[in-house]
Amino acid sequence: MKKKVVIGLSGGVDSSVAAHLLIEQGYEVEALFMQNWNDTVGLKSEECPFEEDVLFAQMVAKKLGIPFHFVDLSVEYRAKVIDYMFSEYEKGRTPNPDVLCNREIKFDVFLKKALELGADYVATGHYCQKETIIKDGKEIHRLIAGADNNKDQSYFLCQLSQEQLSKAMFPIGHIIKPEVREIARREKMASAEKKDSQGICFVGKVDLPVFLQQKLKAMKGQIIEIMPDKADEIIPKSDALAAISAPYQFKPEHGTVVGEHNGAHFFTVGQRKGLNVGGKKEPLFVIGTDVVKNIVYVGMGHGHPLLARKALFIPKNEVHWIREDLRPTEECERRYDIRIRYRQPLQKGTIYFKQEGLYILFDEPQRAVVSGQFAAWYDEGELIGSGVID
């Protein structure tokens, strides 16, 4: 009997071509469109992206001749992704909703809905690859970077488990984006020229402060500029891992008030836009925030010494292993390729596994290491594990 694959058909070109390839490979394919958001607060366009997306998805399903199903997961999405976002920003951290969406929605709630439809597997249009090997008589699922270096989305899946991967398929992971567009044109798909979605997963491009003000109040506070020569007072003198990975302890007396903001929790380290402070030779960048005192600390120029960090820390309870079989059983150190944000080129570094968690020491200092984001580590293109930066 044919294996049944339920494809998460979003209305975009990637999932459309993924569905087409599955049909070509002989699978029984059904489409499942999920509605995860129906609020337009903070959206940069008055148009609701959901209405257009569902129309495109229906047209593609009809063109391919496959059943089309619809499921509303907006309640689960708000509880598992958006409420988490609000909570993290309130603490002065910067979450990654796309990673959470994949772990909690696409490969959890959505996967369960697909299994209810009789699916053997669930497929998505992610640019990544899966390989299954046998080790010690047991199946191990490897999550491998996509063939298209410019579109590799393995980072967004860095929190998946072996159980989730066992049911996952990524039909376009072995090809590059221009080929995907060409296949869609050749098959005359409605989504062939549709622009890629941007912004928060399933929400769209938003004005973040406006979006966050649904739950977080705007509060006037000071913007304080810290000059580069103050860095020696703030950067720890010790080379101990705990010291060089700890948050910088900024104080108002370290700098000078240069402006006013509407809430420290609306800003993140490395941010340039939205400060509205003029008259500087070079752009100002956020180098730190204090949500308790409601202060945003800034530094001038890309090369400000307080923008770069040598190391970061991930607490033990925030460490996740895709390859559980490679988890260290005792304190040790290992070399890995590391990524701390989507599309960042892989960075060389050493991971020190300790009782309290793990420390990542980079070969080269990294710009804008942000608490709340995910660090993921790779070995020869395979994503091994990840964790939330503390």
Per-domain residue ranges of the chain: 4-206, 212-307, 308-389
pLDDT score for 199: 56
Does residue 10 have a known ligand-binding role?
Answer: yes
pLDDT score for 203: 58
Superfamily of domain 4-206: HUPs (3.40.50.620)
Does residue 9 have a known ligand-binding role?
Answer: yes
Closest CA to 363 of 350, 378, 381, 353: 350
Does residue 369 have a known ligand-binding role?
Answer: no
pLDDT score for 210: 78
pLDDT score for 198: 65
Does residue 210 have a known ligand-binding role?
Answer: no
Residue stretches of the chain with pLDDT short of 70: 39-49, 198-206
Compute the distance between CA of residue 292 and CA of residue 250 in angstroms, rounded to an integer: 12
pLDDT score for 208: 74
Does residue 15 have a known ligand-binding role?
Answer: yes
Please, are residues 114 and 105 in contact by the beta-carbon 8 Å criterion?
A: no
pLDDT score for 138: 96
Closest CA to 196 of 382, 15, 384, 390: 15
Ordered alpha helix ranges (H), 25-133: 49-64, 74-77, 83-90, 97-101, 110-116
Q: Which CATH architecture has domain 212-307?
A: Roll (2.30)
The catalytic residue among 48, 128, 201, 332 is 201
Compute the distance between CA of residue 303 and CA of residue 313 in angstroms, rounded to an integer: 23
pTM of the entire predicted model: 0.92
Compute the distance between CA of residue 341 and CA of residue 270 in angstroms, rounded to an integer: 12
Q: How many CA atoms lie within 13 A of 388 on its CB side?
A: 15
pLDDT score for 214: 83
CATH (residue range 308-389): 2.40.30.10
- Annotated catalytic, 48? no
- Distances from the Cα of 62 to the Cαs of 21, 113, 190, 227, 259, in angstroms? 15, 21, 10, 60, 55
- Annotated catalytic, 101? yes
Q: Is 375 helix (H, G, I), strand (E, B) or coil?
A: strand
